[in-house]
Structure 1
């Protein structure tokens, strides 16, 4: 029987994806696996505190991005896209 891969919950990742005009920091946060993340927004001071408290590993904004394909999409992209029936 194959031994399952371990999931290290002590590893925390942050990938900054943008900064809003009002100063809020947009970023991805992941625990254990950088490919499985949530999108978050915090003011700069709270973001710095969050990173310190979680002892995060910073990832490059382009890390993990594939080519131009259907899966290269983020929830934040919905704010800039109009969805209407064709």
Structure 2
């Protein structure tokens, strides 16, 4: 079977927390950091996952911008009332 040579879009993560120093909670996205899934993994698995996907860690500023956009999406623009 011939394998397609398709370029992998960039992958992003943002660590959101830890549990009992055993698990990492994070958001993972492919291509668009605004569309993410929440995940949790043991530390070793998380490290392997990040290496396998060659993830880019979102900065605190980048994540704050994404969260601000999410809030606008959920609640609408500030100052506009229905």
Q: TM-score, normalised by structure 1?
A: 0.62
Which residue of 2 is the match for residue 50 of structure 1?
A: 49
1:71 to 2:71 alignment = yes
Q: Deviations over 1:19-74 (max 9, x none)?
A: 11152000000000101100000000000000000010011245332588x828xx
Match of 1:26 in 2: 25
Query: Are residue 11 (structure 1) and residue 10 (structure 2) matched?
Result: yes
Q: Is contact 1:16-1:61 (8 Å) kept? A: no
Q: Say how many residue pairs are matched.
A: 65
Distance 1:40 1:61, change over 3 A: farther
TM-score by length of 2: 0.65
Superposition RMSD in Å: 2.6
- Indicate the structure with greater helix content: 2
Contact 1:17 1:61 in 2 (8 A): no
